[in-house]
Amino acid sequence: MINTFNWPVRVYYEDTDAGGIVFYANYLKFFERARTEWLRDIGINQNSMKDEYNAVFVVKATAVEYYASARLDDELRVTVVVEKTGRASIVFSQEVWCGERRLTSAKVTICCVNMAQWRSMPIPEPVLTLINPALFTKLD
């Protein structure tokens, strides 16, 4: 069974364009917020990760598809599903929903980076132990 994390987001005026719909790039912000809250929910504090391991997660790749538009004041639900993980990366499947209508879907890959060298590094073992193995399929 795949576990799905859900995060609510309301559309504010600042999220919209002149036509009153959510500007397409703002969906990336919604995805980012949901991933951050997922990390928090499973016990990973990104500030602690930075301080303890000199490591941060950065976005390596995105592929986004748009199906419908959100509008001002819409209440959205952003989903996070971990598809797979590698030594230094995690691939997510994410969607934005307004009620029963899917608005956007994305594949997002994040990479663990050493801040001193700004190079990829293995995800610290204590961080990996907080990621439930039932949520993903190991790459290696």
Question: Could you report the per-residue pLDDT of 37-62, keeping only the tens digit for each?
Answer: 999 999 999 999 999 999 999 999 99
Is residue 120, in this structure, part of any structural domain at all? yes
Q: Give the chain's domain count.
A: 1
Look at residues 1, 6, 37 and name the one whose alpha carbon lies nearest to residue 134.
1
Is residue 135, in this structure, part of any structural domain at all? no
Q: Give residue-wise pLDDT tens across range 93-127.
A: 999 999 999 999 999 999 999 999 999 999 999 99
pLDDT at 137 exceeding the cut of 50: no
One DSSP character per residue, 68-105 reads S--BTT-EEEEEEEEEEE-SSEEEEEEEEEETTEEEEE
17 is catalytic: yes
CA angle 63, 85, 31 (to 5 degrees): 40
What's the average model confidence in pLDDT over 63-70?
A: 98
The pLDDT value recorded for residue 130 is 86
Is residue 139, in this structure, part of any structural domain at all? no
Is residue 126, in this structure, part of any structural domain at all? yes
Is residue 114, in this structure, part of any structural domain at all? yes
The pTM for the full model equals 0.90
Which domain CATH number covers 29? 3.10.129.10
The pLDDT value recorded for residue 131 is 80
List 17, 41, 51, 73, catalytic entry: 17
Look at residues 59, 60, 55, 58 and name the one whose alpha carbon lies nearest to residue 124.
55
What's the average model confidence in pLDDT over 71-92?
A: 95
Element (H, E) at 36: helix 26-41
Q: Is 29 helix (H, G, I), strand (E, B) or coil?
A: helix
Is residue 50, in this structure, part of any structural domain at all? yes
